[in-house]
Structure 1
Amino acid sequence: MKAFQVLFVLFLTAAAADGQSFHPGKCPQPSVQEDFSVTRYMGTWYEIEKLPAIFERGKCNQATYSLLADGTVKVHNSELLPNGKIHSIEGVAKVKNSSQPAILSVSFFKGLPDGPYWVLATDYQSYSLVYSCSDVFGLFHVDYAWILARTRVLTEDVISQLHNELASAGVNLNRLTVSNQTGCDQTTGMK
């Protein structure tokens, strides 16, 4: 048991240093987009704001979604790293329960658990608010949130509206960071 406690403390310390959002207790269960249409959601979304994520290291972050023949969604995430190289990763998302299509699970690596992808709000044409939360050992949870847009900028009034939705879902807005979407269109492969 002592070894588990030491490992647990080391894990939390490392995660905190990387800016992850760890919280005691289980994940909250925020409301998701009603009557969500996976088909209307397809296309490219640009990251406007986010909770810190250890797996994001660059700027110009964007995600492109395309519907596959089997009804799942191809996910292509890309970012421009500080060394000028483009880092991208592909995965597959699927609706977990057809009665709640705004709750998806995403897999990037075989053999690892899927990550939750909950669309809390979207108008499909300009903004999307995404939340992800995973329980760890039933003791704490780690969460992620993204404000996405169809363009590399989003109006302050829409951002404020989405902040209100995140706050009502129990997300600490002080942890949000603004994503860097400058100098992206001149980079090959980031359009």
Structure 2
Amino acid sequence: MLVRVMCNVVVPAVLVVLTLLTPPARAMFGIPDFLEFGGCVNATLKPNFDPVKYTGLWFDIESVPNDYQHTKNCVTQNYTWTGKEMIVATRGLTAVGKKVRQGAIMRQSTSSPDPAFMTVFAEGVPEVPYQIVASDYRTYSCVYSCLERFGFRAEFAWVFSRKPTLPDNTIKHCHEVFTAMGVDPTKMVNITQGEECPYYEKIEETLAENEQYLLKILGPYVPTTTTPAPTHLDQSIVEMSEEEKTLQDLKGKMESGFSTLCTDSQQKETNGASSEDQEDDPNSSTHPVTSFPLLPFLLLPFLIY
């Protein structure tokens, strides 16, 4: 009973107070800036989404800042569809310019039959939604993700491109899609891409390879079974053999969902009787997704890569 009162009354009250604090005070208590009052919007998903067409290389153009995401600049995502799930290999630079690699697995959400609604599984954090709200597969993608608890939400949005740049009118289109859903696109910030990034030395070759791959999957014949992402793209961006082995091992260990302190305690209370009976570089590193500080984890977790 005491734990239930803590979960349903005390914790929400504490959260209300903490979210009203100034940014420095919020940081001191481990409250991320993206934690807001309110619930998640009902996202309008891309009709007839085809995960095979979504595979290949994407560049992050804009996103809502996330303190728990290692990659900050020069961020690329490589998607490989296995026929049952999407393997995501992410590369980029930290805020201090250190090379970093991260990985995740996406599967169709159990809460929706729509293939445009996926769930991200990554080591060390709870599962989170990944909703494709608009994409032409060849040039851009607009993605939404949100978690809610105790009347608060952690809301994220991304604009992706098949190239390091994206025309302003295309970015504006994503903003309009988000606005129509009730999501504020002004929360997103630009992600550094281009000449400052490690991949830039071979960018022309990389884009040409990726374009050939897109012609293959977006042509008249589109395979409906396993279609791996291009295997000969610039290794500094796409090839992640070491990481993908790790991801394959991760699949067997992954648990769907997570239990918070509150839900665990409630289950014990209800069922108490039955329960008794990147490259080898000295400056580069590979990181699992960072775990949450205790307080945000109890309320609204995330990540994304």
Q: TM-score, normalised by structure 2?
A: 0.56
Counterpart residue type for residue 237 of structure 2: M
Partners of 1:78 and 1:27 in 2: how far apart? 28
After TM superposition, list the pairs within 5 Å mapping 1:1-191 onto structure 2.
Answer: 1=6, 4=11, 5-6=13-14, 9-10=17-18, 13-14=26-27, 18-20=32-34, 22-57=35-70, 58-68=72-82, 71-96=84-109, 99-109=113-123, 112-137=125-150, 139-182=151-194, 183-184=196-197, 185-186=199-200, 189-190=236-237
Q: CA deviation at 1:41?
A: 0.3
Provide the aligned length of Structure 1 versus Structure 2: 187
**Do the aligned residues in 1 keep the contact of 2:130 with 2:144 (CA within 8 Å)?**
yes
Residue equivalent to 2:219:
none
Higher normalized helix content (fraction of residues): 2
Q: Distance in 1 between matches of 2:77 and 2:98?
A: 17
How far is the alpha carbon of 1:162 from its aligned partner? 1.0
- Report deviation, 1:48: 0.6
Contact preservation (8 Å) 2:18, 2:31: no
Contact between 2:77 and 2:90, CA under 8 Å: does it hold in 1? Answer: yes
Deviation of 1:169 after TM superposition, in Å, equals 1.2
Change (3 A) 1:7 1:159: closer
Farther-moved stretch of structure 1 (54-63 vs 157-166): 54-63
CA distance in 2, matches of 1:9, 1:44: 42
SS of corresponding position for 2:129: strand
CA contact (8 A) 2:143 2:158 kept: yes
- Aligned AA for 1:190? I
RMSD: 2.5
Residue 76 (structure 1) shift: 1.0
Whether contact under 8 Å (2:61, 2:158) holds in the other structure is yes
Q: Percent identity?
A: 27
Q: Which has the higher strand share?
A: 1
TM-score (norm 1): 0.86
Distance in 1 (CA, whole Å) between partners of 2:134 and 2:15 is 37
Where does residue 272 of structure 2 map in the other structure?
none
Question: Structure 1: how far apart are the matches of 2:15 and 2:39?
Answer: 20
Give distance in 1, aligned partners of 2:148 and 2:91: 26
How many angstroms does 1:186 deviate by? 3.8
CA distance in 2: counterparts of 1:43 and 1:30, whole angstroms: 24
Distance 1:25 1:7, change over 3 A: closer
**Displacement of 1:86:** 1.4
Change (3 A) 1:18 1:161: same
Larger Rg: 2
Deviation at 1:160, TM superposition (A): 1.0
Please say which of residues 36-45 and 22-31 is displaced more in the overlay.
22-31
Read off the aligned partner of 2:164 and give its amino acid letter.
Answer: R
The 8 Å contact of residues 32 and 118 in structure 1, kept in 2 or not, is answered as yes
